[in-house]
Chain A
């Protein structure tokens, strides 16, 4: 059980790091908008960056918009 004399102080150091990270996150507005990023990640605005050979479908079908896409 002597190992605990090392492990317990070690856990205190880890704890201090965790608290530092938390403080950094709060100060940097990481908790400011809890909804937006969840939506943004799903937003397909990277089509320009997909190389032409990797594109799955042509865009001629849907240039007028919706109707078909909304359900």
Chain B
């Protein structure tokens, strides 16, 4: 099949010729890019779910092959004891949980998962929500377990992890539902009252038949009452809170207008008078509630996306007891326990190594890009990843006493001390409230002395006409549009003030590993030292490193691997193996030389780069230099920041010479290495006292205090969960350039917000004298209010397409 050899039959990645993996499926040989794709395609074919391929209209994630370790890990979660936090047992004995599913690109993926899982015994129901990418699972614990079901999803190449909808989310969901009902009622009521107001205001039901006027007023009264008593309640609550805090915001004039308009209309309905304003207050409430709802939903979705990356799976550890190893929850560990750490595991507690030697990836804690070799007696910290050999560790500190928890506490403190940004709209609102109240009192006094009969209705007209509908919509609409635009670009603001704060920042602090760099090693160059060509050296090295969790090994994953037998890891040295009867070694020069009995390799001048050597028993084969490569767009982002006149700083925990090299190649103004999380925070505080406004971009746990202490914090998508949760914004994808988009959109947003505020203030200022003079007929006030609101919304919508 010539067409199949061009692209992988499962994930559609382009394939080299000959294809790396071929397999027979449904009686035909097909080509695949990897074993993972083949395995998934086989399941799909065996279960007759081929239709998936015809229906899919998004990219298919290339799946990782499921090795025994992943299987075992999934099946752990069949164990009831580990799961009491993420799984709920219902009254009928069934269990349920929520899963976050990664890689769902279209409806076909959902269809595939639902159909595949429906073949599992014991699964009662599965429902996948397309917009939130969540699955709701219900199963019978006597027949199956969560682990088996998780494995079922993993088999198809999707990542799934249980998600515990926290209290935060449950509250927000309830609030959202209530808000929808509030908006719906206000909307329906606005339409109805406007219909009833039409004959009243245009004199169609006027004078000729007072009973008819009264009928219309009563009907409007009945319709508008739930709006005031139910739909507008959040405004009253917020206004009351503002008043108690002596910090009047937009909700105060809003509440005054709604209440005054309503009470006056009720009075007119009961005792007779000139006008009722039921339709104005209904429409007004509807507009405002809608604006608030949209703003809240944007933030809610950003929060969901952010939280969705967080794994609620309880951390586990292998406890070594008298009867062998048992899986326990990480937080049940006690000092003195002995635990086994397999390669690829994350340490669950602080401790000392009893047995074994291995390279530990400590980058999350220290920012160091290379793993550190640790042996018996040495201390290890929770949060680090074992990359090579099994270790036996005795626990010193667990739970809240680990170094990891100490950093988290520092974070909380820094967060509490953070300067608060006051929203522009709130400051404007403060002035506006005062102005309206003064104007209303002046109106009342003036008319009281000239024409006491008209004093009350005219004061009321002033309050209704100056109702800050457009003013309240000015900021939320602009923020909603800007946030949606940024989210599409890969920059997710998680707080309402993020965009405004972005305008005040003038210094950016970067972390190195995982922020400016990719956070993983890649092959920078291969220099053959013998007669073997470069390509052959690469594939031999890839064969030697196959199956290892070491970061160096990961650099070779993309290379085609040669057949290598009896592979062995030598911690702190390298790997050895045999290919075609020839002994091979890869690793540090002295290790390779002593293993194979060779003379030292030819010397090089390049000292900053990390290099490994490949040799066979017959002589040196190649020198392979490795690098934690910079992100593609790191240089252009830094250059752009400099052009904008920003000061750039690189603060890293890394001990290697790479810090200077990275700073030099990017032209970063100031850099410092070997910093602990505490000193990073101190440096940022020092910069702030110098008068700089700092934005910090980081990813690791070692950046956490710094992120919290900076005026604005941005976390990379690959960051630790806590870093993302506490950041003001998250950059999605593995590029830095969304940052530039954010810097472009932030000033535009500020401009639009200012335009909107000006626009609505001008409208209010224009209508105010007319209302004070008693010239405003209610329908003019209503039309003016709607027109100014629509204008403000349209202006905000421009943000979606605007270029600076």
* A27 interface residue per 8 A CB criterion: yes
Q: Are A39 and B185 in contact (CB under 8 A)?
A: no
* B53 interface residue per 8 A CB criterion: yes
Residues of A within 8 A of B563 (CB): none
**Pick from A11, A31, A40, A43: contact of B192, CB under 8 Å:** A11
**Pick from B51, B131, B216: contact of A35, CB under 8 Å:** B131
* B184 interface residue per 8 A CB criterion: yes
Given contacts A5-B215, A43-B107, A45-B111, contact A32 B129 (CB under 8 A): yes
* B355 interface residue per 8 A CB criterion: no
Q: Are B180 and A4 in contact (CB under 8 A)?
A: no
* B451 interface residue per 8 A CB criterion: no
CB B576 to nearest CB in A, in angstroms, measures: 43
A47-B177 Cα distance, complex, nearest whole Å? 37
**Pick from B4, B28, B111, B196: contact of A67, CB under 8 Å:** B4
Q: Flag A4-15 by CB within 8 Å of B: 1 or 0 each.
A: 110011011001
Q: Are B51 and A44 in contact (CB under 8 A)?
A: yes
A32-B131 Cα distance, complex, nearest whole Å? 8
Number of interface residues of B (CB under 8 A): 41
* A50 interface residue per 8 A CB criterion: no
Q: Are B185 and A62 in contact (CB under 8 A)?
A: no
Q: Are B111 and A22 in contact (CB under 8 A)?
A: no
Q: Flag B529-543 by CB within 8 Å of A: 1 or 0 each.
A: 000000000000000
Q: Are B184 and A19 in contact (CB under 8 A)?
A: yes
A12-B755 Cα distance, complex, nearest whole Å? 41
Q: Are B188 and A22 in contact (CB under 8 A)?
A: yes
Given contacts A26-B184, A36-B129, A63-B26, contact A12 B50 (CB under 8 A): no
A1-B209 Cα distance, complex, nearest whole Å? 10
A68-B189 Cα distance, complex, nearest whole Å? 53
Residues of A within 8 A of B129 (CB): 32-33, 36
A69-B50 Cα distance, complex, nearest whole Å? 13
Residues of A within 8 A of B54 (CB): 62, 65-66, 69
Residues of A within 8 A of B189 (CB): 15
* B219 interface residue per 8 A CB criterion: yes
* B130 interface residue per 8 A CB criterion: yes
Given contacts A26-B177, A45-B51, contact A19 B223 (CB under 8 A): no
Interface residues of A in 11-68 (CB under 8 A from B): 11-12, 15, 18-19, 22-23, 26-27, 31-36, 39-40, 42-45, 47, 62-67
Given contacts A4-B215, A8-B219, contact A65 B9 (CB under 8 A): yes
**Pick from B51, B56, B219: contact of A12, CB under 8 Å:** B219
Q: Flag B455-474 by CB within 8 Å of A: 1 or 0 each.
A: 00000000000000000000
Given contacts A62-B54, A65-B50, contact A8 B215 (CB under 8 A): yes
Residues of A within 8 A of B30 (CB): 64
Residues of B within 8 A of A33 (CB): 129-132
**Pick from A8, A31, A39, A64: contact of B106, CB under 8 Å:** A39
**Pick from A35, A42, A47: contact of B130, CB under 8 Å:** A35
A63-B184 Cα distance, complex, nearest whole Å? 49
Q: Are A22 and B185 in contact (CB under 8 A)?
A: yes
Q: Are A36 and B131 in contact (CB under 8 A)?
A: yes
Q: Are A64 and B26 in contact (CB under 8 A)?
A: yes
Residues of B within 8 A of A8 (CB): 196, 215-216, 219
* B181 interface residue per 8 A CB criterion: yes
Q: Flag B1-17 by CB within 8 Å of A: 1 or 0 each.
A: 10110000100100000
Q: Are A22 and B131 in contact (CB under 8 A)?
A: no
* B108 interface residue per 8 A CB criterion: yes
**Pick from A12, A26, A32, A36: contact of B107, CB under 8 Å:** A36
A26-B12 Cα distance, complex, nearest whole Å? 41
Residues of A within 8 A of B421 (CB): none
Q: Are A64 and B223 in contact (CB under 8 A)?
A: no
Residues of B within 8 A of A22 (CB): 181, 184-185, 188
Given contacts A27-B177, A62-B54, contact A43 B108 (CB under 8 A): yes
* B771 interface residue per 8 A CB criterion: no
Most buried by A among B26, B56, B180: B180
Q: Name A21's closest neighbour in chain B (CB-CB).
A: B184
CB B296 to nearest CB in A, in angstroms, measures: 14
Residues of B within 8 A of A64 (CB): 1, 4, 9, 26, 28, 30
A47-B49 Cα distance, complex, nearest whole Å? 12
Interface residues of B in 176-212 (CB under 8 A from A): 177, 180-181, 184-185, 188-189, 192, 196, 209, 212
Residues of B within 8 A of A1 (CB): 209, 212
Q: Name B9's closest neighbour in chain A (CB-CB).
A: A65
CB B682 to nearest CB in A, in angstroms, measures: 47
CB B139 to nearest CB in A, in angstroms, measures: 21
CB A30 to nearest CB in B, in angstroms, measures: 10
Q: Name B3's closest neighbour in chain A (CB-CB).
A: A67
A42-B111 Cα distance, complex, nearest whole Å? 12
Interface residues of B in 199-240 (CB under 8 A from A): 209, 212, 215-216, 219, 222-223, 226
Q: Are B107 and A40 in contact (CB under 8 A)?
A: yes
Most buried by B among A9, A11, A19, A64: A64
Residues of A within 8 A of B180 (CB): 26, 31
**Pick from A12, A23, A43: contact of B55, CB under 8 Å:** A43
Interface residues of B in 349-399 (CB under 8 A from A): none
* B742 interface residue per 8 A CB criterion: no
Q: Are A65 and B53 in contact (CB under 8 A)?
A: yes
Q: Are A39 and B181 in contact (CB under 8 A)?
A: no
* B553 interface residue per 8 A CB criterion: no
A64-B31 Cα distance, complex, nearest whole Å? 12
CB A43 to nearest CB in B, in angstroms, measures: 6
Residues of A within 8 A of B589 (CB): none
CB B207 to nearest CB in A, in angstroms, measures: 14
A36-B136 Cα distance, complex, nearest whole Å? 14
Residues of B within 8 A of A18 (CB): 188
**Pick from B3, B128, B130, B223: contact of A15, CB under 8 Å:** B223
Q: Are A39 and B107 in contact (CB under 8 A)?
A: yes
- A residues near B (Cβ < 8 Å) are 1, 4-5, 8-9, 11-12, 15, 18-19, 22-23, 26-27, 31-36, 39-40, 42-45, 47, 62-67, 69-70
User: Could you write out 21 A-B pairs with CB less than 8 Å apart?
Assistant: A11-B192, A15-B223, A19-B184, A19-B226, A22-B184, A23-B184, A26-B181, A32-B129, A33-B131, A35-B131, A39-B107, A42-B107, A43-B55, A43-B107, A44-B51, A63-B26, A64-B4, A65-B54, A66-B53, A66-B56, A70-B12
Query: Closest 6 A-B residue pairs measured CB to CB?
Result: A36-B130, A39-B107, A65-B53, A22-B184, A66-B53, A33-B129
Q: 10 more A-B contacts (CB under 8 A) besides A12-B222, A65-B53, A66-B53?
A: A22-B181, A22-B184, A26-B180, A33-B131, A36-B128, A39-B107, A44-B51, A47-B51, A65-B50, A69-B54
